[in-house]
Structure formats: structure tokens, C-alpha cells
Amino acid sequence: MGSSLEYKVEPAFSHIPAADWAGLKSRLEAARDETLADVDLLTSGGAIPKTKQPLDSGFIMLPANLLDEQEAKGESSLLGQMKLAATNMKDSVDRFVVLGIGGSYMGMRALFEALCHPYHNELPRAERGDVPRLYFSGNNIDNDVTSGLLEVLTSASDYSQLANRWGMTVISKSGGTLETAVAFRLFREALEKCYGADSKEATNLVVPVTGETGKLRDLSNATGYPAIFPIPDGVGGRFSVFTAVGLFPAAVMGIDIDALLQGAADLTERFRTAPIGENPVLDYTGVCHLLEKNKGLTTRILSTWGGRLEAFGLWYDQLLAESIGKEEKGALPLTVVNTRDLHSRGQQHQEGVRDKLITNVIVETPSTSPLVVPKVAADRDQDQLNRLDGKALPELLDAAIKGTNKAYLEVERPTADLVFPKLDAYTLGQALQMFMLATVVEGRLIGINPYGQPGVEAYKQNMGEILYGK
């Protein structure tokens, strides 16, 4: 269907003795087998052993299953219903708000920043592909930022005009997350003020995405929102980008969700069948694991080149940190954006503590025509850029990547490359699925349950006690 993501282990691999790699192979394969066996365990309907709970392996076959269901049932499939609701939303509003936090927010932000126009919200609607502007909220409790967005949304006088109309999706698997729930109340009240409490818009322009049970599900059923999408049991928050959590808002924004899912499904197949050495999930996990265990590289830098993959990196930071940061184990993930951060973190990565593995994330071909650095008359060449001889920005970025990797190589700082042939829905679908699978395989490899996030409960409980006094 499209081009494949490639993980290039050199030169990081030269830091790994052959015996270490050979010794890891059977354990890596066992971790893959366990990851895949967990899919059957979840769907078998049998009891899940205590040591495996929670078990959220439902994300693994989800992309392929959704596409198969769509093939069989067309418009009545879940994807068909999501696309219909997305079309209704996009045709009805010019501003679309996504309320959610953590796994219920970061995947969509990654999709938006990577796949939509970098200045999407600034463009006139016709140049935005006839889709609304996008805003995120409910991912913090910041008074000023929340007020600012409400002000933008509610300042119009005529809500019959498409340019002034707005709607939202509220996303929470548990349905009880305070940040999102409070935002939903505030934005519901604002919506009712704009359209009238009994208006059709007060329900039609809200699409809840939530688990089968919980406070948000109860509220949604009681209110009678016409479209409510499920987050299935067995798919955890940070593994839910290929449920309605990511797919519904992505469809509203005109992102090709079939291509995303196809990328993820193809990557899963590669994970299932390709041998070590040709398997990006196993190769990436093996390199990270051995360099952490044997060389003390406990900081994993995801070094994204260019500006569109920062949110993808932040999504991965959350995925790795919440999944593996348990029982006093787990590497520290850190996303950087280069060349920007060469001017803020480059010094430390070149000469600081030797605890870092750098994975470059490189897009080979830009989606737009190369911007050539203009040549000027010799008497205006004080900046001496005529030396560039009409080179274009992709060539400069390539030189920066090569120059930085060479500098790291010279001081024996390990790097590896994750290469996107181009940045589109198909390759991003592969990358998202690759990192979700790699995170689970790593967990199984080191005996940590990658699913669940028990540690996050502590702050929630304390906050509840402070607020409600119990």
C-alpha cells in the first residue's frame, strides 16, 4: 500500500557485543510469543491470571479487525459510523474541541501535528480541506488557558453562521478523570449558552468517547447524545489511539484513518512474522534493552528531526513512562526536536553523563516542495549564504543529521535511526503501532506488566481527599 518504516540499528549496534545479542534472541522471541499469546488470552473469555492483570492486549489486532469489519459491513461498521459522525461534525462547525488527558489526548495531538497543515488553524476553511479548526482542552486545570479558549468560542453573536459554530468530543475511558470531567461541565455550559439549553446543537455537537461503564457513560446515556463511541475493554488509555479516541477526531480533521489503520495492521503482521534483524519492534526493543542493562543507557532520547513529530515523541514519552516506569525500573524517555534542541540540549548529549541512547526519527522526503535558499547579488552577501550554492532546506537538515551523528560517533555516543520514507497516515500508523508493541515486548522481557498505571492513583486519591474531604 505504501512505504515501510525502517529501523537502522547501526551504529548503536556496534556498542553491543555479538554474544550479548545472540544471548538475547531467544528471550526476545519469547517476549514476542507472550505478547501475541496475550491477544488470545484476552479474547478467549477465560479467567485472566492475577499476574497478568490488567491485560490490555486488545490494541494489537484492533486495526486489522476494524478494517475487516468495515470491509464486511460497510457503513454500518464501527468505522462507518465514526466516519458518518465525523462528517456531521465537520460540516456543522468551524471549531472543534477535543477534551481529554493522557492516553485520551496525546495520540490525537500526535496525528494532528504530524498530518495536518502546520498552521492549520490560521488558514481559511477552504484551504483547511473544509474541516474545522482544532483545539485541545481538559488536559490540565489551568484557569487562564481554559478561560482563553472559552472566550474564543463564546464571543460570537450569531451561532447560525458556520464560521462561529463549534462542537466537541469528550474522551475518557474511565469516565471519571477530574480534569476532563470538569472541563466537560464548563464547555457544556458554554455550548448551551451559545445555542440554547434545549437546542439540538447542545446534544448533536457533543460526541462522547468512553468505556462501557462509568460516570461519563451514565451522563451521556442520560443526556441522550446521538453518537457515543466506545473504548473497548481490553484496550488501555495510552494504547487506544486506534479506537475512537484517535480515529473519531482524526476523521473530523480529514485524516485518512483507513491508511492509518492499514499501516498499523501491516506493522503488526511484520512484528508477528519477521525474524530478528528485519523486525523493527524486536530490533528496537533489543537494542534499547541491552544498552540499558549492560551499558547503563537509562535515558532514551527520541531525537525528532524537523518540527512535525514533537507530539508523536511526547505521545511515546507517556507510553514508555507509564508502561515501564514501575517497580523502580524503566528508562527515562525524552523527546527532542532538532535542530531546535541542538541549541539547548546538544551540549549535554555530546559531553554530559554517558547514560543516553539517541534514536533519531528522520523523515526522508518532505511533503512540500523544497525551499531553496535564495542567491543574492555579491554586494548583498554579507551573511555569506551564497556559499550554500542554492541548496534547499532538506539538504541543510540532512547535513545537520549527518553532522550530528558523526559528532556522536566520534565520542562513542550510540545512535540509531527510525526512518519514515515520508510522513503520511500510513507510515505514522506503522510508527504508533511499532512503539506500542515495543513497549509491551520490553515489559514482558523484563517482567513488568506494561498495562495499567497503579502509581497514578496516589495523586488522584490525595487530590480527592483534599477536595471532597474523604
The residues that are catalytic are 322, 343, 460
Residue with cell 480527592: 464
Q: Is 288 in the site for ligand PA5 (CB under 6 A)?
A: no
Give the strand pairing for 415-422 and 6-8: antiparallel
DSSP letter string, 105-145: THHHHHHHHHHS-TTGGGS-GGGGTS--EEEEESSS--HHH
Which residue among 132, 236, 280, 306 contacts ligand PA5 (CB under 6 A)? 236
| Stretch touching ligand PA5 by CB under 6 A, among 10-18, 96-104, 192-200, 378-386 | 96-104
Q: Could you give the CA distance from residue 307 to residue 305 in angstroms, rounded to a whole number?
A: 7
* C-alpha of 193 from chain center: 33
Q: Is 443 in the site for ligand PA5 (CB under 6 A)?
A: no
Residue closer to ligand PA5 by CB (options 266, 322) is 322
Residue closer to ligand PA5 by CB (options 100, 167) is 100
Which residue among 167, 208, 237, 443 contacts ligand PA5 (CB under 6 A)? 237
Task: Identify any residues that bridge with 98 across adjacent strands, giving them in sequence order.
Answer: 136, 169
Q: Could you give the CA distance from residue 72 to residue 69 in angstroms, rounded to a whole number?
A: 5
Site track for ligand PA5 across 346-385, x = CB under 6 A:
----------------------------------------
Q: Is 104 in the site for ligand PA5 (CB under 6 A)?
A: yes
Residue closer to ligand PA5 by CB (options 24, 170) is 170
Burial class (CB in 10 A: 0-12, 13-18, 19+), 164: middle
Q: Is 133 in the site for ligand PA5 (CB under 6 A)?
A: no
Q: Could you give the CA distance from residue 155 to residue 369 in angstroms, rounded to a whole number?
A: 38
Site track for ligand PA5 across 294-323, x = CB under 6 A:
----------------------------x-
Taking the complex as a whole, the smallest distance from the CB of residue 4 to ligand PA5 amounts, in Å, to 28
Residue closer to ligand PA5 by CB (options 180, 338) is 180
| Stretch touching ligand PA5 by CB under 6 A, among 38-46, 232-240, 266-274, 352-360 | 232-240
Q: Is 32 in the site for ligand PA5 (CB under 6 A)?
A: no
Task: Identify any residues that bridge with 137 across adjacent strands, giving them in sequence order.
Answer: 99
What radius of gyration do the chain's Cα atoms show?
23
Q: Is 333 in the site for ligand PA5 (CB under 6 A)?
A: no
Subset of 163-182 contacting ligand PA5 (CB under 6 A): 172-174, 177, 180
Q: Where are the beta strands (DSSP E) in 10-160?
A: 95-99, 133-137
Q: Is 54 in the site for ligand PA5 (CB under 6 A)?
A: no
Which residue among 15, 109, 120, 238 contacts ligand PA5 (CB under 6 A)? 238
Residue type, 432: L
Q: Could you give the CA distance from residue 87 to residue 359 in angstroms, rounded to a whole number?
A: 38
Query: What are φ and ψ of residue 170, in 5° steps?
Result: -115, 125
Contacts of 40 (CB under 8 A, 6+ apart): none
Taking the complex as a whole, the smallest distance from the CB of residue 25 to ligand PA5 amounts, in Å, to 30
DSSP letter string, 231-254: --TTB-GGG-TTSHHHHHHHHHTT
Residue with nearest beta carbon to ligand PA5: 237
Residue closer to ligand PA5 by CB (options 182, 397) is 182
Q: Is 57 in the site for ligand PA5 (CB under 6 A)?
A: no
Residue type, 232: P
Residue closer to ligand PA5 by CB (options 237, 280) is 237
> What does the DSSP 8-state code read for residue 379?
G
Residue closer to ligand PA5 by CB (options 177, 404) is 177
Name the site residues for ligand PA5 (rule: CB under 6 A): 101-104, 172-174, 177, 180, 236-238, 322, 453
